[in-house]
Structure 1
Amino acid sequence: MGWREGLVLLLIAGAATSQNCRGEEPKPRSCENLCDKDGNCKIRAALLLPRNTTFYASLHVVEPVLHLAVQSDTVKEMLPPWLSFEWMTYDVTDCDAAYAVISAIDAYNDCATVFFGPACDFALASVARITKFLGKSGIPVLTTGGFTFDFVKSKQSCKDEYYMLVRTSPLGFKDMAYFIIDVMRQ
């Protein structure tokens, strides 16, 4: 298992300690913990993407892939056997930032423990800004999007704008621009 997979597992499973960014005691929710009183543990993952298939990352394209990924032997070996996964889908209508926030709040109210997406920059920015204030210590946002420079900046504390954001993409627009400049120089 690589360092990225380990980081993702720590974030999802709640083993990583994170700060309470609210500055006050959060209101308790019955679903705040991953495990219930009977020891049943479940990750409730919210998939926040547009239903509109003109976007490359849409619910109809990504949801089946994630269901297959959870069933793969690699993922099964990475996750403990006592942990189950539940996918919840939310339509971020046409990647609109306002709909993204509404979808994130709906997912939070439905007890989501991690957000996957949005992939569009404006929708992602809106969701990533509020997630550090949700729950006891924030809700992680995992995305393949977020190419603009602000998403690449450090995210080590509550003072950082996108504190709970984890980009799985290795490059941003700045990296791609420098790569093209280097190619042109050669």
Structure 2
Amino acid sequence: MRVNARTSWQTRAITQDSYLVPVTLLLTLSPVFFAPLVHSYQPKLVSISLLSATWLQFSWEQLSPFPQTSDPQPEVCELDDVRRRRESVIRIGVILPMYDTDYAFSLMYTRPAFEIAREQVHARSDLLDNYTIEFDYRDSICSDVYGPLEGIEMYARHEVDLFIGPFCDYAVAPLARFTSYWDIPIITAGGLVHALNDKTMYNLLTRMVGSYTKLAEYFLSILDRFKWYRVGMLLHQSKDRNAVASSQWFTVQATFLLIRDHWNPNITMEYARTFDMKDYTEEELEDQLLYLSRLCRGERARVHNLPLINVTFLSTRVIF
């Protein structure tokens, strides 16, 4: 949006322009006027005069507070945040996977819900009365690179008051760190990992779904209720070393840390066994189960003479 911005500075600049032309002309013709006085025509003097006139023109253009233009009403840009304050607009940046329907929170599924919610808010006088909500939909690609970059672009352009998303853990974490510094709230249905519990770093992050830590607290309450203190960990993890950690890994991690902090400080990840659900043999799985069965019966604990508290998962299902 553009607005008129004529000021007294512009008026003076236009007035002073009228003096620039005759001064430049005088400097250019000065060798002709002074030639009779020195009884000769000096070419070097002409060159110096032309250079002086050029320098004067260039210096005036650089020092002039406004562009030299014949337009009597020049225009300047208005930042989007200024417009929003003037028009009472709340602009929400929605950063979610746009086309990938494998994700439950893809924009293919959630965008209609955002639009319906906006209509309902605008229809009520007791919610944000006299305010207008705008959405800016961006594709995160569930990427820890493209997701945060979309948020950075919106912030740099002063185009956002609130972020919804990203959803994927690796995408929301860096953006949530930035928003704490920018003083912009961020809401997500993802970001369930234990590390995001740190409110000194993620103080403006609001997670709408229970985190992995909450699931771990629930699971430990079951263990305590039935006095199950010898359990092993079995979870899915890709054999590809470049693959990101799975949700099962984050679930077990939160449970492991909770056990270590509240029950058994000596527990180590030696008791967690992994297998790739997409690439494994029956022999590999059988070996892991045999190892955990001995572990859960306390045979390994008797050998080391140590207390043993472990947890067993198969995918996201608990097996006892």
| Shared fold, TM over 0.5 | yes
Asked whether the 8 Å contact 1:70–1:76 carries over to 2, the reply is no
* Per-residue CA distance 1:111-152 (angstroms, 9 max, x = gap): 111110011111000111112333xxx211111212112222
**Aligned residue pairs, count:** 145
Match among 91, 112, 118 for residue 139 of structure 2: 91
Q: Aligned with 1:97: secondary structure? A: coil
Gaps of 5+ in 1: 1-28, 155-159
| Structure 2 partner of 1:176 | 215
Q: Confirm whether residue 71 of structure 1 aligns to residue 115 of structure 2.
A: no
- State the distance in 2 between where 1:173 and 1:141 align: 19
The residue type equivalent to 1:165 in the other structure is L
Distance 1:121 1:62, change over 3 A: same
Residue correspondence of structure 1 range 133-152 to structure 2 within 5 A: 133-134=181-182, 138-152=183-197
| Structure 2 partner of 1:30 | 79
Asked whether the 8 Å contact 1:121–1:147 carries over to 2, the reply is yes
Root mean square deviation of aligned Cα: 2.2
Distance 1:73 1:176, change over 3 A: same
- State the distance in 1 between where 2:163 and 2:146 align: 15
Shift of 1:177: 1.5
* Per-residue CA distance 1:134-172 (angstroms, 9 max, x = gap): 3xxx21111121211222233xxxxx2113212222x21
| Structure 2 partner of 1:129 | 177
The residue type equivalent to 2:150 in the other structure is S
Q: Confirm whether residue 167 of structure 1 aligns to residue 207 of structure 2.
A: yes
Q: Confirm whether residue 80 of structure 1 aligns to residue 125 of structure 2.
A: no
| Structure 1 partner of 2:150 | 103
Shift of 1:43: 0.5
Shift of 1:76: 3.0
- State the distance in 2 between where 1:124 and 1:107 align: 15
TM-score, with length taken from structure 2: 0.42
Shift of 1:173: 0.7
Q: Aligned with 1:161: secondary structure? A: coil
Distance 1:78 1:54, change over 3 A: farther
Distance 1:129 1:75, change over 3 A: farther
Q: Aligned with 1:47: secondary structure? A: strand
The residue type equivalent to 1:143 in the other structure is T
| Structure 1 partner of 2:267 | none
- State the distance in 2 between where 1:88 and 1:31 align: 13
Gaps of 5+ in 2: 1-77, 227-320
- State the distance in 1 between where 2:122 and 2:154 align: 27
Q: Aligned with 2:137: secondary structure? A: strand
Asked whether the 8 Å contact 1:49–1:91 carries over to 2, the reply is yes
Distance 1:177 1:113, change over 3 A: same
Greater CA drift, 71-80 or 121-130: 71-80
Q: Aligned with 1:174: secondary structure? A: helix
Q: Confirm whether residue 48 of structure 1 aligns to residue 88 of structure 2.
A: no
Shift of 1:83: 0.3
TM-score, with length taken from structure 1: 0.69
- State the distance in 1 between where 2:208 and 2:134 align: 21
Q: Aligned with 2:176: secondary structure? A: helix
